[in-house]
Amino acid sequence: MIVLMLACAQADLEFSEDLEVLTYNVHGLPSAITGDDTTGRFEQIAPLLKDYNLMGIQEDFMLENHEILTDSLDHVTQAWFSEMLEDRYYGSGLSTFSHFKTLEIYTQHYSTCNGTLDYGSDCLASKGFLRVRLELAPGLEIDVYNSHLEAGNDAQDTSVRTEQVRELLDEIELSSADRSVIFMGDTNLKFDIPEEMELLNQIKEEGMLTDCCEQMQCSQPQYIDRIFFRGSSDLEITAKEWLERSEFFDEEGEPLSDHPAVSCLLGLKANF
């Protein structure tokens, strides 16, 4: 009887929606490091985020600036991975916002980094990934991953990125097997460097993920800020549009971060 009732409930579910997904590295280090008014930029960025259904933000390091975002947004999911490792100066800098309800939040620090005041200075931050399980509709869920991989161009940086990709894919396999997934973030992976292209291919193949930029034959395939996705037996996901957002500039035409804001319009449809 229980199985029959569940089957009937699923058969009655009709869910079809376009999801505007944004990934944005907001360059949120202190002004002494960025060389500009970090807080002032956050004040300009915050109102521009309100219309996106789902956002993965990177370098959202400082509480004062994070609160500028949370105070400006009405998203029911506002997850911030702020936990700092004892030998670091900052948390992961990752935050995820969504209009969909949170069912579960999981965070994990990467096991390795390279450089404190050199090689990209990644060991200043407690890098890792943030997974948020969202409820799209009753009985319909999706796992959203947000991450910021190791920067730098040294061989050791590449080695660290390789390990970080391995740890991320292991978590996807462990916790998101047979589930729909969106993975977005600052990958620091360049498609024109063979070793890094191998890692991009590994993410797509082992994670069974589609790169929105590649799928839409986007105009900026060299960008390291990427959005990947995959559907499941109960949710069909199709890419409809990839865009470099034009609104994230100040009145003088200067970008509000040292990274572009990249979006992907995804069509979601329940397969029940």
Q: Please list the ranges in the chain whose pLDDT falls under 50.
A: 1-11
Q: Which has the closest alpha carbon to 107: 89, 90, 92?
A: 92
DSSP state of 7: H
Q: What backbone phi and psi angles, to 5 degrees, belong to 35?
A: 80, 15
Domain 16-270 has CATH 3.60.10.10: yes
Q: Which residues pair with 236 in a beta bridge?
A: 269
Distance, C-alpha 167 to centroid of its chain: 16
Rounded CA separation 53/39 (Å):
24
Phi and psi at 259, nearest 5°, equal -125, 150
- Give the pairing of strands 140-148 and 181-186: parallel
Residue 201 confidence (pLDDT): 98
As a whole number of angstroms, the distance between CA 56 and CA 235 comes to 21
Tell me the C-alpha distance between 13 and 66, whole Å.
36
pLDDT digits (tens, 9 = 90+) for 87-140: 999 999 999 999 999 999 999 999 999 988 765 689 999 999 999 999 999 999
Name the burial class of residue 252, with classes exposed (0-12), middle (13-18) and buried (19+) by CB atoms within 10 angstroms of its CB: exposed
Q: What pLDDT was estimated at residue 257? A: 99
